[in-house]
Chain A
Amino acid sequence: NAGVTQTPKFRILKIGQSMTLQCTQDMNHNYMYWYRQDPGMGLKLIYYSVGAGITDKGEVPNGYNVSRSTTEDFPLRLELAAPSQTSVYFCASSSASGTYETQYFGPGTRLLVL
């Protein structure tokens, strides 16, 4: 059981470039999340999804877009990369069993924008 997987592990982007961070979970979880973690800080929620076809903004959504066409996949899109988006990005998932839901995290994608 792989859990939550993320690709790539590391990427360097130039300002203005675009990229998609991939996230896949094999636990049949309805809820999926994207967080970013800046150095020395906790994680902040970017976007979340409560099921295929349903997404919504979190605390820091500017500069990002998401889609959820399947239960398993929840890609995060950066259209015009900016240095402020240099961070580590974590994807997470949880079951839709109620409000007390443990979230399981992927290993992260480290992004550097120069």
Chain B
Amino acid sequence: AQSVTQLDSHVSVSEGTPVLLRCNYSSSYSPSLFWYVQHPNKGLQLLLKYTSAATLVKGINGFEAEFKKSETSFHLTKPSAHMSDAAEYFCVVSSHSGGSNYKLTFGKGTLLTVNP
């Protein structure tokens, strides 16, 4: 079984300040982890992914995330928020236990608000 917990349903920051969106996961097998972003009334776009290579992963638009196995965490960060970062962010875990059961499990999302 696998699950994802996004620790904050809403994060509010000022433009130019750092962003931290927290994600913890649970997986019975070696996980792959992803962050997706969804702007209002839009589809989902992949920000970055961890797939057992480097633990610090860089994504698009200045975002990065660090995989910490000991803490079962995959927090998303950005040094300086921009107004265009306002969106909902989803942490996603996938794992494979053999056979044909490749599934991706979503967290409930974190809404990021950026104040001018």
A, B in one complex: no
Chain B interface (Cβ within 8 Å of chain A)?
A: none
